[in-house]
Amino acid sequence: MARDETTDFSCKELVAAASDYLEGRLPASERARLEEHLAACEGCTTYLEQMRRTIALIGELREEDVPPEALARLLGVFRAWRHAR
Ligand SMILES: [Zn+2]
């Protein structure tokens, strides 16, 4: 599979686009590039799966239980975790 230079999509970019991707807000062209990177990068596949589970978990809670700041903080934890590796 292609590396970052040829996919033109780095791990950092994936992390930045992850929430848009999971919420279906990413344009089709960006989504294709992101999925191409995913196919070649185990770390990002794991990262995205963890994030998807977190979002699903949050989705099961009632809105008043999850203030936007808490969601942002949670997503920030995932970003920090990814960058720390
Ligand atoms: Zn990656």
- Ligand 1 centroid–CA 33 distance in Å is 11
- Separation of 22 CA from ligand 1 center, angstroms? 16
Q: For residue 14, what pLDDT is reported?
A: 93
Within-domain flag for 32: yes
**What range does the domain containing 61 cover?**
11-84
pLDDT at 68: 74
What pLDDT shows up at residue 4?
A: 46
* pLDDT given at position 23: 85
- Using 50 as the pLDDT threshold, list the residues of the chain that sit under it: 1-2, 4, 7
pLDDT at 60: 75
Task: Quote the ligand 1 centre to 4 CA distance (angstroms).
Answer: 8
Question: What spacing in Å lies between the alpha carbon of 63 and ligand 1's midpoint?
Answer: 32
Q: How far is the CA of 40 from the centre of ligand 1 (A)?
A: 8
Within-domain flag for 26: yes
Number of domains in the chain: 1
67: in domain: yes
- pLDDT at residue 65 in the model: 64
Q: In the prediction, which pLDDT does 16 show?
A: 92
Residue 6 inside a domain? The answer is no
Distance 18 CA to ligand 1 centre (A): 11
Q: Of 13, 64, 55, nearest to 34 (Cα)? A: 13
Instruction: For residue 25, give the CATH number of its domain.
Output: 1.10.10
Whether residue 29 is contained in a domain is answered as yes
Give the per-residue pLDDT at 10. Answer: 92
Write the DSSP symbol of residue 26: S
C-alpha closest to that of 33 among 2, 66, 79, 76: 2
